Structure 1
């Protein structure tokens, strides 16, 4: 039985972030004050001098940021070496002081985040590509030889969705971020590949998202089919917990920047643990907002793109009508290889002529940079879950897994959180098809071949592509994208 024959859920688990990194505010203290993010500016305008603040201090280089933090009396938490940013905590007065330090270019708040919450491999032709196409290595196009990173609440590596043929887990690097707790050493720690970090964080969202990107292909009882877009890939999971903060998520991006070539460490073969080529981010600000090119998030994802890693963002679950920009800010980055994903509703049938999900965030009609890049199924998506985890329990449509003891280990959830990992897995398929592709070539292959489903706003010329403020360039088409990339 196809997913379309399951009872449809009206529940949208769109838990997304309350991150507002849009723009800057005027300097508060002196003419020479470094600019700040909107949320930090608001905080400093009202906070008492002794109020505790955690901030990300950007310097002209790392040494400048380190010196500024030290001179202001702030307590250093961690540093993002490649982009010259230091995370630190202290009083509001100390943060005000660090803005005056030489070499400080920007200061942003450690804003709280919340998770977005929806596996339609038929509509994107990902399943068709898995079954009919082969990669450069001659094997089926399942993402084999490609590493996928998921920054989320965590993952259950013991779930059948992630089991390899030899019984091991395809979660090859399992990490837990402690950065939000303010630790100054061991900010992101490796845990055994058998540890369920999703249960530790009382989540479920991360396991569901990871299943969409990379879950095994199964036909369950009653003929229900499940599976991710890149079931041959290897997974790196970075658990930031259920209560995401900018510092925690940026530290995770920074970890990938520093470790993507050998995520399991030196001495582990690329066959056993392939380089990370794509990162999934199913979180972002509630209500969207303007793009902030000065944020650490943007600096990190641009550095990742320069080193051959694609970054994928859920566009958000705030709906809209094009009158305002509700898109996830970092996903608006025009840098090639950074993709924002709208949610498409295949109406439970795998149709390619469905609709834009009502909840999928729209960009502003008059600001093409705010438009999502592409669409993928995100509504009523069946993927890996555990029935005792909070996010999974919201699905209300549990389905038993392949084993006799796998009771309720799949469930139906909706959201752009579920659309994004479909694209993440598709990117892995494309990298298997052309391992030396650049992030720009990957993005162009996807956007130039997207299927133009007609629901919603009309397509308009937007640079080299036709696009729209609600659905981007259209529905991803893996078979067509592979053809464009490899010809």
Structure 2
């Protein structure tokens, strides 16, 4: 009972901290007096019989330090994975072990390793990408060559990528393919994270990540260029977590991007997943996903998120981390330039300010922009999986191409469109900061007068104007 009372007091302490992040208010996110304990973790611990999966974020500007690993051991924790570039570790721990760990002044926060979901529910001409490729003025500005995102590294943080597909050929276009699933129950010690690299096909269970990768930068090789992606010249890096997905898996993708940024010139990471139970929440600066995306921002990497598929109701953006002021969150539009009914909305007037690392930011409960997400044709995983969009495929795809392409809808398809456009922007101006990229996307978006900003953000993304703005920066 004494532990339960202690933990309930920690819940109240954390709730007090989070309650201060409301519209028009300011909260400090630099150094909380005590470790912030996730309320979901606390509730789980109160009924758990054995150890639970948790994510510890340390106060560090590097990866997990040796003394922090020792801190875990001193708390009695013997199983877990420590990330390489982020100060984050996934652990298996009991109530008493987490209580002891939470007393350390080296710990920023401890969160439950929650389960997440992938967000499923002709597009390049809608966004202006075709004009980017064919416009003579833009070709001349780019040294005589079409703008294709050449050499820009884009991480596909998803279910995996099938690099046996000609449009996503492993070793040339797909420059790296990684299996990154983090199964804490499979470890028997406190270990550094390991990534299985060089796997030609990491998407043998859903096809979701392969479809996303094709939208970002498929070459169209299997269709004579007909179903080319947004940035076919980009260097794609697949980070696959499989069909089962949890928070630590996704953070592993962020960690991989940081660790290998220089090797692959990584400037963008696209994420088409979320948590519907985290929809009506305020931005939480202590959440490990927000810690990770802020670190990417500081290193010049733009994080792109799908908004979620729980529309048309308000307050449905699937994750407080999609409200972070340093990320780009994308709603889904249809081929007529309207907002898809399924696309998640924010909430009118909801937002606030937060101070992180001495800098004050304003966050808002809204997408950044809208891009195509309805009946999107892209690469089909070749491995033997169900036909994802069989009915729509017959309607929209020529029979000769059905073995190589499929149709899907969702904000999962909208986010990679914008990730590809950002790769185009970085090709023409690699000196852009993530804040300049986000600003350019917003200021050049096409107005959607039938909707409010909390529904569609700045409007329908306009690739041509965004790339033109990047040229002029």
Q: Provide the rounded CA distance (Å) in 2 between the counterparts of 1:161 and 1:403.
A: 18
Report which of the two has the higher share of helix. 2
What residue number does 2:332 align with?
343
Q: Provide the rounded CA distance (Å) in 2 between the counterparts of 1:86 and 1:109.
A: 12
CA contact (8 A) 1:161 1:384 kept: yes
Instruction: Report the 3-state secondary structure (helix = DSSP H, G, I; strand = E; otherwise coil) of the residue aligned with 1:174.
Output: strand
Shift of residue 32, structure 1, vs aligned partner: 7.8
What residue number does 1:360 align with?
343
What residue number does 1:158 align with?
164
Shift of residue 251, structure 1, vs aligned partner: 1.3
Q: Deviations over 1:349-390 (max 9, x none)?
A: xxxxx2111111100112151100001000111111137655
Q: Provide the rounded CA distance (Å) in 2 between the counterparts of 1:424 and 1:242.
A: 22
Shift of residue 149, structure 1, vs aligned partner: 0.7
Q: What's the TM-score, normalizing by structure 1?
A: 0.80
Distance 1:45 1:366, change over 3 A: farther
Instruction: Report the 3-state secondary structure (helix = DSSP H, G, I; strand = E; otherwise coil) of the residue aligned with 1:155.
Output: coil
What residue number does 2:56 align with?
57
What residue number does 2:270 align with?
280
What residue number does 1:101 align with?
104
Matched, 1:371 2:366: yes
Matched, 1:309 2:310: no
Q: Provide the rounded CA distance (Å) in 2 between the counterparts of 1:358 and 1:403.
A: 29
What residue number does 1:14 align with?
none
CA contact (8 A) 1:158 1:169 kept: no
What residue number does 2:202 align with?
197
Shift of residue 160, structure 1, vs aligned partner: 2.2
Distance 1:403 1:415, change over 3 A: closer
- Alpha-carbon RMSD across the aligned residues, in angstroms, is 2.8
CA contact (8 A) 2:390 2:406 kept: yes
Unaligned runs of 5+ in 2: 1-9, 15-31, 352-363
Q: Provide the rounded CA distance (Å) in 2 between the counterparts of 1:44 and 1:313.
A: 30
Q: Provide the rounded CA distance (Å) in 1 between the counterparts of 2:240 and 2:261.
A: 16
Shift of residue 214, structure 1, vs aligned partner: 0.6
Distance 1:403 1:37, change over 3 A: same
Matched, 1:430 2:444: no
The number of equivalent residue pairs is 421
Give 1:7-406 correspondences, 5 Å limit: 25-27=11-13, 34-48=35-49, 51-61=50-60, 62-63=64-65, 65-117=68-120, 120-132=123-135, 133-134=138-139, 136=142, 138-163=144-169, 169-181=172-184, 182-183=186-187, 185=191, 187-192=193-198, 195-199=200-204, 202-217=205-220, 220=223, 225-263=226-264, 275-287=265-277, 288=279, 289-322=281-314, 324-335=315-326, 338-347=327-336, 354-368=337-351, 369-386=364-381, 390=385, 392-398=387-393
CA contact (8 A) 1:209 1:417 kept: yes
Q: Provide the rounded CA distance (Å) in 1 between the counterparts of 2:386 and 2:108.
A: 39
Q: Deviations over 1:47-101 (max 9, x none)?
A: 24xx121211122234464233111111242223544222211323322221123
Instruction: Report the 3-state secondary structure (helix = DSSP H, G, I; strand = E; otherwise coil) of the residue aligned with 1:235.
Output: strand
Shift of residue 119, structure 1, vs aligned partner: 5.8
CA contact (8 A) 2:212 2:412 kept: yes
